[in-house]
Structure 1
Amino acid sequence: MDGVTVINHPLVQHKLTIMRKKETSTAGFRRLLREISTLLCYEVTRDLELTMETIETPMQTIQAPVLEGKKLVFASILRAGNGLLEGMLELVPSARVSHVGVYRDHETLEAVEYYFKAPESMSERLVIVVDPMLATGNSSIAAIDKLKERGATKLRFLCLLAAPEGIRNFQAAHPDVPIYTASIDSHLNEQGYIVPGLGDAGDRMYGTK
């Protein structure tokens, strides 16, 4: 699909398979989510711009590459997005963090907002929005609406799994935001869950169901 990057690194696919298994424990799921998020972060930041800086090594003075411009913002869609956020912050500890509290009403499948906190001056920062699942797309669309209202202009969306229906809805609302995912699954069921999927990522991560 145009605008969608599937991250098919063998380690990503291996860990995702273990996460899908219904017998994987809460502790195991949480650990794997943190591990896979680091690998996904590596891919979604692959093309960040670099500039040269003068440094001194123990041997001599050189010109060496560093990230150019303002730092990244990682925007976590609560609550499940925090599972991806933790591993990404291990890789980029200097990133700013935004939290977007959005949940899906299980009757209407519409997004309901309950919390929003983001850094100031987001217009010059790359904002990577994270949520394990892109199902209907309603929560992700609502989160990006809020971030754009705050001034974000450069955004990417990162998830573990995406459904074709969610991708279509997301791209209709935000065609300027590329999607990065580890898998495009078959479809959504009548309850709006991704099939074959891995269940409810938040419940599996926190042991709440």
Structure 2
Amino acid sequence: MTTPEVHHIVHPLIQHKLTLMRDKNASTSSFRRLLGELSTLMAYEITRDMPLHPVQVETPLETTTGQAIDGKKLALISILRAGNGFLDGMLSVVPGARIGHIGLYRDPKTLQAIEYYFKMPTQMEERDAIVVDPMLATGNSAVMALDRIKQLKPRSIKFVCLLTCPEGIATLHAAHPDVPIYTAAIDRGLNEKGYIVPGLGDAGDRIFGTL
């Protein structure tokens, strides 16, 4: 039986930037900039266990053997639309990564996820997948996304979010106990509308200025 993993990333810079993002008075441009910076910082932790292979390189003095990752074997998968806010920051760390998108929206009455778009890189069975979405709230969208992605049999899967809560973690790990969660915060819970509290509001609206 796989033991579910939750990696709470508590680096001071990450926590500082997240606090600034929570402020309801933060502008759209500020929120977007902070998310890019924060996702770059999170990428270092998320990719800590990426496999390396030896590479021969010529320094100005002699030939030596270094270590390199194969970014082309990595797939960053954005749950639309808010997941796109993560991509630029993470691509600054692994620019060779391929990009996938899955479009989901949450039915406001049932809180269930409904798919409207799915486009993934080829040869997913050879790739490590990192699924990104700023909020893991009810967990329904994350579970549906992981259901679909697993059909392509990627080499490994990680789920990355800015914020989550006990309900979201429980829902995701009940369905996918083998998928580790990486997050900057575990908040108190959900309100009656299924939003994380204290949270930071609707991440998609704040990223794209559609409040």
User: TM-score, structure 2 length as denominator?
Assistant: 0.96
After superposing the two structures, state which structure 1 stretch, 148-157 or 101-110, moved more. Answer: 148-157
The one-letter code sitting in structure 2 at the alignment partner of 1:207 is: G
The one-letter code sitting in structure 2 at the alignment partner of 1:159 is: C
The one-letter code sitting in structure 2 at the alignment partner of 1:177 is: V
1:30-49 to 2 correspondences below 5 Å: 30-49=32-51
After superposing the two structures, state which structure 1 stretch, 85-94 or 17-26, moved more. Answer: 85-94
Counterpart CA distance in 2 for 1:182 and 1:158 is 9
Counterpart CA distance in 2 for 1:125 and 1:78 is 20
The one-letter code sitting in structure 2 at the alignment partner of 1:87 is: G
Aligned to 1:91: 93
Instruction: State the identity as a percent.
Output: 60
Query: 1:47: how far off?
Result: 1.1
Segments of 5+ residues of structure 2 without an aligned counterpart are none
Determine helix, strand or coil for the equivalent of 2:151: helix
Aligned to 1:177: 179
Q: Is contact 2:72–2:96 with CA below 8 Å preserved after alignment?
A: no
Q: Is contact 1:15–1:36 with CA below 8 Å preserved after alignment?
A: yes
After superposing the two structures, state which structure 1 stretch, 162-171 or 148-157, moved more. Answer: 148-157
1:45-124 to 2 correspondences below 5 Å: 45-67=47-69, 71-124=73-126
Q: How many residues align structurally?
A: 209
Query: 1:55: how far off?
Result: 1.1
Q: Structure 1 pair 34/68, CA: closer, same or farther in 2 (3 Å)? A: closer
Counterpart CA distance in 2 for 1:49 and 1:181 is 22
User: TM-score, structure 1 length as denominator?
Assistant: 0.97
1:144-159 to 2 correspondences below 5 Å: 144-159=146-161
Q: Is contact 1:70–1:124 with CA below 8 Å preserved after alignment?
A: no
Segments of 5+ residues of structure 1 without an aligned counterpart are none
Q: Indicate which of 162, 165, 175 corresponds to 2:164.
A: 162
Aligned to 2:202: 200
Query: 1:89: how far off?
Result: 1.1
Q: Is contact 2:4–2:177 with CA below 8 Å preserved after alignment?
A: no
Q: Is contact 2:4–2:178 with CA below 8 Å preserved after alignment?
A: no
Counterpart CA distance in 2 for 1:104 and 1:89 is 27
Query: 1:114: how far off?
Result: 0.3
Q: Structure 1 pair 14/69, CA: closer, same or farther in 2 (3 Å)? A: closer
